[in-house]
Amino acid sequence: MSAEIICVGTELLLGDIVNTNAQYLAQQLARLGIPHYYQTVVGDNRERLKQAIALAGDRAELLIFTGGLGPTPDDLTTETIAEFFNVPLVERLEILQDITEKFAKRRRQMTENNRKQALLPQGAQVLPNPSGTAPGLIWQPREGITLLTFPGVPSEMKRMWQETAVPYLIERGWGQQIIHSRVLKFWGIGESALASKISEFFDRTNPTVAPYAQTGTVRLRVSAKAASEEIAAGLIDPVAQQLQEIAGPDYFGADEETLTSVVGELLRDRGETVGVAESCTGGGLGAMLVDVPGSSDYFLGGIIAYHNEVKASVLGVSREILLQQGAVSEPTAKQMALGVKKQLGTDWSLSITGIAGPGGGSEHKPVGLVYIGLAAPDDTVDIFEYRFGAERDRATIRYISACHALDRLRRKLIS
């Protein structure tokens, strides 16, 4: 028994949006232990959608659709599914009422095209959408095949999945064999260097170990199959332990843990606080720190000193240094870190100043040159110089700068 994900929408084929829905559903299926081997993206086109249904229906027993449930004429999923299985659409009064109420509550005018969203194939069950107007369906058009449809709006889809689809699937015995995974995360080591260090682990079968890289963070997925999550976790534990020992401080966390959450935990345990002084990242490091609920326990705030005048007047960076050594320099990073620490009264502080590009680089100070300052409770400051290379784009340089800053604090806190 396996599932397939079919994402419907010409906007996906045109690249207007990134398919986060497929990722979410994939994670959810993995968590439930429901195997899925293919994902298909198809446009708002009746014939091609039918072909996709035919193919997926041959390969899998559970077909999960996202997109194409909206009120506009190019939203074709429901009617195409009905057509494919040769079943008429009927208007559902309960859906119509729900839509009418939602519009009234939001004090918006319900439009005639919203009526279309009340049509479902005869025999299908409503998959309620508590946060939007487009409901989905749960339908077994014939023995051995179950269809679920969701709107394309990620927040609506997720809620519908959690509140209705998951209980439905579990009740019907989907996902009896558990695949349980743990993702180990590493910072400061490349994928192939890590892969060489741990190459003998790749031949294992239960758990399996597989690497994958994203910008900056290298990940190893350790996956076990077992009758229960507990048994699977027992298979994973010793292998994960060995991998962590081999990697040393380059290992920083697992699963939902991020550099930010790990640094946060370390600070919380010590009862210490941090502040940030940001130039090229413009607030991105602070925004990362507040990603974690409860970050107010240790993150007090910061100064975004994008303009040099702010570096001088608010952070107290010497105007002479700014003039002679420049805003992107070791002494500026040092004074920024000390400046914000003093202003905010934190135990620790991080500063970032660099050239994110695409302009502003020179021979001596190329795009990608970034200084990170880390001030400790005793006011000693460590400065780290990075040269990320002008071939990286502005967003990447800013993102990895913020990550490296967090990583430097992490290494200091565990040393």
* Binding to its own copies in span 102-161, by CB under 8 A: 108-109, 111-114, 130-131, 133, 152-155, 159
Residue 47, classified by CB atoms within 10 Å of its CB into exposed (0-12), middle (13-18) or buried (19+), is: exposed
β-pairing verdict for 208-213 and 125-127: unpaired
100 binds its own copies (CB under 8 A): no
- Which range of residues in 87-95, 141-149, 235-243, 392-400 is near its own copies by CB under 8 A? 392-400
Instruction: Answer yes or no whether residue 217 interacts with its own copies by CB under 8 A.
Output: no
d(CA 291, CA 294): 9
Q: Which is nearer to its own copies, 100 or 181 (CB)?
A: 181
Min dist CB 414 to its own copies, Å, is 24
Q: If binding is defined by CB under 8 A, does position 96 make contact with its own copies?
A: no
Between CA 303 and CA 282 the distance in angstroms is: 9
How far apart (Å, rounded) are the C-alpha atoms in residues 129 and 151? 9
Cβ distance to its own copies smaller for residue 92 or 219? 219
Q: What's the min distance (Å) between Cβ of 86 and its own copies?
A: 24
CA distance 126 to 4: 20
For residue 202, the tally of other CB atoms under 10 A from its CB is 12
Pick the binder of its own copies from 96, 304, 376, 390 (CB under 8 A): 304
According to CB under 8 A, which residues from 46 to 75 bind its own copies? 48, 52, 55, 70-74
Q: Calculate ∠ Cα 28-242-256, nearest 5°.
A: 30
Contact with its own copies (CB under 8 A) among 271, 359, 363, 415? 359
Q: Which stretch binds its own copies (CB under 8 A): 85-93, 309-317, 328-336, 406-414?
A: 309-317
CB of 286 to its own copies, least distance (A): 3
Q: Is 291 in the site for its own copies (CB under 8 A)?
A: yes
Applying the rule CB under 8 A, the residues between 312 and 331 that interact with its own copies are 313-314
Q: How far is the CB of 302 from its own copies (least distance, A)?
A: 4
Spatial CB neighbours of 320, under 8 Å, sequence gap ≥ 6: none
Q: Is 362 in the site for its own copies (CB under 8 A)?
A: no
**Contact criterion met (CB below 8 Å) for 180 and 223:** yes
Return the residue of 136, 141, 253, 302 that touches its own copies, per CB under 8 A.
Answer: 302
Q: Which two tokens stand for residue 7?
A: 């994402």
Contact string (CB under 8 A) for its own copies, positions 177-216, x = contact? ----x-x------xxxx-xx--x--x-------xxxxxx-
Q: Hey, what are 307's tokens? A: 């303009």
Total residues interacting with its own copies, rule: CB under 8 A? 116
Answer whether 164's CB lies under 8 Å from 97's CB.
Answer: no
Nearest to 216 by CA among 14, 396, 410: 396
The nearer residue to its own copies, 14 or 93, going by C-beta atoms, is 14
Nearer to its own copies, 23 or 228 (CB): 23
- Supply the minimum distance, in Å, between the C-beta of residue 249 and its own copies: 18
Could you tell me which of 265, 351, 257, 343 has the C-alpha nearest to residue 300? Answer: 343
Task: Find the helix packing angle between 394-414 and 259-270, rounded to 10°.
Answer: 30
Distance CA 102, CA 93 (A): 14
- Lay out the site mask for its own copies across 229-268 (x = CB under 8 A, - = otherwise): ----------------------------------------
Cis bond leading into 207, ω under 30°? yes
